[in-house]
Amino acid sequence: MEDHDFKLEKARLLSLALEFGFDERLAKKSLDRLISLYGDDGRDFLTVEHCGDDFLVALAETMEDSEDWDDDLQVVESEACGALNNMLDKNALPNTRSNSNTNVGNCINVIDDSPKRKKQTNLMELDSSSDEESLDVWISKKKGNFSTLSSRQDQSSRVGCRSSVTEGSISGQKQFFSTSMGGNGTLSYDELQALDDVELANVVIFGNRSFRALQRQACKASLAKRDCFILMPTGGGKSLCYQLPATLKPGVTLVISPLLSLIQDQIVTLNLKFGIPAAFLNSQQTASQAAAVLHELRQLLYVTPERVAGNQSFLEVLKCLHRKGQLAGFAVDEAHCVRFALFLVYTTEIWVIIDDYRGLGCLKQHFPNVPVTALTATATHSVREDILKALRIPNALVLKTSFDRPNLKYEVIGKAKDSLKQLGQLLQDRFKNQCGIVYCLSKNECAEVSNFLNVKCKIKTVYYHAGLASQQRVTVQKKWFDGEVQIVCATIAFGMGIDKPDVRFVVHNTMSKSIESYYQESGRAGRDNCSAVCIALYQKKDFSRVVCMLRNGQGCKSQSFKTAMAQAQKMRQYCELKDECRRKILLEHFGESFDRKACKNGSNPCDNCLRTS
């Protein structure tokens, strides 16, 4: 290599380092060290393929590991397991109503609609004072086939929620609908009568006034026993697509979900909010706990994938259910896990889960006639192909909505010198008394940002990361959910399965590590479909922090580090967009073509569209 080229190449590498936000002095030092490693004149280093990557990795290594990335899902997972087991002990006590010949290892009796139970659940008995029709009777007259609704209401009264349902009078019904629709209005008797089974269940059981895009089609397809592949954005309402049919079909729907923390959230919502009997099984449960779960008929049974893939005894249980006509369907939630991890899942444990997801093809193999519903918020074409293949549902009906969240306004703000003060000002000026999340990259950053906002800006916040004691984490979540504190400064450990509808803003104090992560994290805003703002605060320097943390998480030589770097670079490009529409870039990342006019002319244009319109 000529002197001239050598100098040029060195300059290129240095500018690469600067572009990635590394300190210039450190970069020079690190480059000199690397060059000196390669023989007398060091020129060999510069001719090595991908020497730029190696240089960045080496540079990242020279920086101090002062930051502690909140990657520890295992803590959160084991606690979710404990909480679920607790619920199980309280709620799934041996079922005295079922036959006593239940035997998990052999065959189980899951039929739980004995006349005795029905009699117990008749809501008429609860309201002898009313001479008007009870909701139950009214519905059964209308449809003659709504026993599942009765059992839901039985469950409802059993867990002590929605007592208004038990009033059993027309006025009681109205009160119930009004409550369940969250104040969105009531439906008249005539309107209710015009609904079909699926619509009625949506209103009565789930308290929704109407369906969102494609939910109705998904429910109908599932009831018609079709395999389905459902692609909807985060917060789009995927759960309903398998939960609603599960309440209308005889038997149990098996739901495979990758993480206990997600399962926990679902079980709590189903049992306590909707009164739908749901339980879970995972590999950490003892045989007697599992037996207790299987003993009690549930409409929805959640399992982690390792429970299914390659687990012969569980397959036998499923076969037994199937023989009895009690296996209603399979739902594979977060189906993209077939392909890769979305939730920063680099720990060995989670990779195992992903392997297990790949093994879920056994379901279709053993039960070709039982419908499979796969659901994901990751929409690229190749992920879709992988999922259909791995689950062996090549002819599944694909239902895909746009991944656009028109109610979200995307913005990037360059960080000022005093970025914490800038953040405080932003929150005070634009989000006073509003509920939101400030995402931070590390545990330290969380605490630091929260303390600064509390002390210096007099903005009440709490912080949350996986390093907190479990009780503390529960307290923080509760305070935030109850509105006692409106802002939580959190790492990505906060948010999994979070379904708070009125989050008005998500601010990233440091850039996300990929577009996928950003879409997920920012997508926690505006789940009520009302306007919300997603702001990324950005400075070049933050990119080098992300690189360092990726290197810590994955080992710098691995292929996955290089992939992660490429993903982080895409995120950086998003942050550095000058004029292009941010919404368009996000959607195109998921393989969706998007006309930026829709952003410009929409009610929540991104910052670039707002500026250039």
Residues that bind ligand ATP in the complex, under the rule CB under 6 A: 208, 211-212, 215, 232, 234-240, 377, 499, 501, 527
Name, in order, each residue with C-beta under 8 angstroms of 93's C-beta and a sequence gap of 6 or more.
292
**DSSP letters spanning 223-282:** HTT--EEEE--TTS-HHHHHHHHHHHSSSEEEEE-S-HHHHHHHHHIIIIII---EEEE-
The span of 92-100, 237-245, 542-550, 557-565 binding Mg ion (CB under 5 A) equals 237-245
Name, in order, each residue with C-beta under 8 angstroms of 133's C-beta and a sequence gap of 6 or more.
141, 170
Nearer CB in complex with ligand ATP: 239/461 = 239
- Distance from C-alpha of 258 to C-alpha of 354, rounded to nearest angstrom: 8
Structure tokens, 25: 């002095």
Taking a C-beta distance cutoff of 8 angstroms, is the pair 422, 241 a contact? no
β-strand partners of 438: 489, 507
- What is the three-class DSSP state of 374? strand
Q: How far is the CB of 202 from ligand ATP (least distance, A)?
A: 6
> How many CB atoms lie under 10 A from the CB of residue 611?
10
- What is the three-class DSSP state of 375? strand
Q: How far is the CB of 263 from Mg ion (least distance, A)?
A: 11
Q: How far is the CB of 239 from ligand ATP (least distance, A)?
A: 3
> How many CB atoms lie under 10 A from the CB of residue 94?
13
Residue 534 parent element (H or E)? strand 532-538
Nearer CB in complex with ligand ATP: 34/498 = 498
- Distance from C-alpha of 184 to C-alpha of 250, rounded to nearest angstrom: 31
- What is the three-class DSSP state of 503? coil
Nearer CB in complex with ligand ATP: 98/378 = 378
Which of Mg ion, ligand ATP, none sits in contact with 237, Cβ below 5 to 8 A by type? ligand ATP
Structure tokens, 83: 């909480």
Tell how far CA 490 is from the center of its chain. 16
Nearer CB in complex with ligand ATP: 257/486 = 257
User: Token match 């090549």: residue?
Assistant: 394
The span of 236-244, 323-331, 358-366, 506-514 binding Mg ion (CB under 5 A) equals 236-244
Q: What backbone torsions phi and psi does residue 332 show, to the nearest 5 degrees?
A: -105, 100
Which of Mg ion, ligand ATP, none sits in contact with 215, Cβ below 5 to 8 A by type? ligand ATP
The span of 11-19, 235-243, 335-343, 406-414 binding Mg ion (CB under 5 A) equals 235-243
Nearer CB in complex with Mg ion: 238/582 = 238
Which of Mg ion, ligand ATP, none sits in contact with 547, Cβ below 5 to 8 A by type? none
- Distance from C-alpha of 108 to C-alpha of 317, rounded to nearest angstrom: 7
* Rg, the chain, Cα only: 27
Nearest residue to Mg ion by CB is 238
- Distance from C-alpha of 420 to C-alpha of 457, rounded to nearest angstrom: 9
Q: Smallest Cα–Cα separation from 331: which of 251, 233, 253?
A: 253
Nearer CB in complex with Mg ion: 238/589 = 238
Nearer CB in complex with Mg ion: 238/584 = 238
Nearer CB in complex with ligand ATP: 60/241 = 241
Taking a C-beta distance cutoff of 8 angstroms, is the pair 16, 36 a contact? no
Tell how far CA 386 is from the center of its chain. 20
- What is the three-class DSSP state of 175? helix
Nearer CB in complex with ligand ATP: 92/198 = 198
Nearer CB in complex with ligand ATP: 336/545 = 336
Q: How far is the CB of 185 from ligand ATP (least distance, A)?
A: 12
Q: How far is the CB of 153 from ligand ATP (least distance, A)?
A: 19
Which of ligand ATP, Mg ion, none sits in contact with 274, Cβ below 5 to 8 A by type? none
Q: How far is the CB of 544 from ligand ATP (least distance, A)?
A: 30
Which of ligand ATP, Mg ion, none sits in contact with 501, Cβ below 5 to 8 A by type? ligand ATP
Which of ligand ATP, Mg ion, none sits in contact with 72, Cβ below 5 to 8 A by type? none
Q: How far is the CB of 79 from Mg ion (least distance, A)?
A: 20
Q: How far is the CB of 246 from Mg ion (least distance, A)?
A: 15
Q: How far is the CB of 373 from Mg ion (least distance, A)?
A: 12
- Distance from C-alpha of 444 to C-alpha of 468, rounded to nearest angstrom: 11
Structure tokens, 420: 């914490």
Q: How far is the CB of 238 from Mg ion (least distance, A)?
A: 5
Nearer CB in complex with Mg ion: 342/468 = 342
Which of ligand ATP, Mg ion, none sits in contact with 305, Cβ below 5 to 8 A by type? none
Q: How far is the CB of 413 from ligand ATP (least distance, A)?
A: 25
Residues that bind Mg ion (CB under 5 A): 238
